[in-house]
């Protein structure tokens, strides 16, 4: 459900906060709220949200000033939501470092699209997260696993099993748990499947499948992955 992005809403109007809470959370964003400038700056600093929605009409301070203060150290996108629609106000906000400016009342889908655009621009520079250990490299985005720079060919089930173990690095997973996760609840007793697939995985990733280094057997319990 979550898309991994957090958004801080700085707005004193309860209706707007409620509306944003419903629409943004429905789209997978994690929301934070502040009802005035002081609280907003504190929360931005303590939570480092991925994006800030800032109302310019705050009770305790001029929004343009808040914007400038945030921009002294806050690098992620800031989108202004304001009832003021004068050109002067918009130009000033954009030149103070705002990424976009929407006038209230705003259209929900447009706001969502502009949030996506702002997030796209600031986070696409980052590399794909790649996990590496020993001679093995795992790229979850590309769904590619390499052993000694050779692309490893895994079937869908093998890949699922491997990533399940990997995600629980160091932990013992019971046979039952693994079977339920990979094959579904009905297969919880088919421990033989597991043995077959574990053997195949070991053949592919272990240097010496007879003396496994990564996929360890916990006799009578299950398996444990050990990346280092």
Partner DNA sequence: ATTTCTCTTCACAAAATCTTTACACTATAC
Partner DNA sequence: GTATAGTGTAAAGATTTTGTGAAGAGAAAT
Residues that bind a copy of itself (CB under 8 A): 87-88, 90-91, 94-95, 98-100, 107, 109-110, 112-114, 116-117, 121-122, 141-144, 155-157, 159, 170-172, 218-221, 224
Nearest-approach distance from CB 85 to DNA, in angstroms: 29
Q: Is 1 exposed, middle or buried (0-12, 13-18, 19+ CB in 10 A)?
A: exposed
Cβ distance to DNA smaller for residue 84 or 180: 180
Which residues of the chain form contacts with DNA (CB under 7 A)? Answer: 153, 155-158, 175, 183, 190-193, 195-196, 198-199, 202-203, 209-210, 217-222
Contact 80, 93 (CB under 8 A): yes
Helical segments of the chain, H only? 14-26, 37-47, 63-71, 87-95, 108-123, 156-167, 175-183, 191-205
Contacts of 196 (CB under 8 A, 6+ apart): none
Nearest-approach distance from CB 123 to a copy of itself, in angstroms: 8
The entry of a copy of itself, DNA, none that residue 210 binds, CB within 5 to 8 Å by partner kind: DNA
The entry of DNA, a copy of itself, none that residue 183 binds, CB within 5 to 8 Å by partner kind: DNA
Nearest-approach distance from CB 12 to a copy of itself, in angstroms: 26
CA distance 112 to 106: 10
Cβ distance to DNA smaller for residue 48 or 226: 226
How do beta strands 144-147 and 150-152 pair?
A: antiparallel
């Amino acid at each position: 459900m979550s898309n991994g992005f957090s958004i801080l809403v700085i707005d004193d109007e309860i209706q707007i906060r409620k509306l944003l809470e419903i629409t943004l959370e429905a789209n997978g964003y994690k929301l934070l709220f502040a009802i005035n400038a002081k609280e907003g700056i504190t929360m931005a600093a303590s939570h480092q949200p991925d994006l800030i929605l800032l109302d310019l009409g705050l009770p305790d301070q001029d929004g343009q000033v808040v914007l400038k203060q945030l921009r002294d150290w806050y690098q992620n996108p800031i989108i202004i939501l304001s009832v003021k629609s004068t050109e002067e106000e918009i130009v000033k906000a954009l030149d103070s470092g705002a990424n976009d400016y929407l006038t209230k009342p705003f259209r929900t889908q447009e706001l969502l699209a502009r949030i996506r655009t702002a997030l796209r621009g600031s986070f696409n520079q980052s590399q794909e997260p790649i996990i590496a250990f020993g001679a093995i490299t795992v790229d979850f985005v590309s769904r590619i696993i390499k052993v000694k720079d050779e692309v490893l060919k895994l079937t869908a089930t093998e890949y699922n099993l491997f990533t399940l173990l990997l995600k629980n690095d160091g932990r013992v997973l019971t046979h039952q748990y693994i079977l339920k996760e990979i094959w579904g609840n009905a297969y919880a007793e088919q421990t033989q499947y597991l043995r077959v697939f574990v053997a195949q995985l070991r053949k592919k990733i272990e240097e010496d499948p007879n003396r496994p280094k990564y996929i360890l057997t916990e006799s009578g319990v299950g398996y444990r992955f050990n990346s280092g």
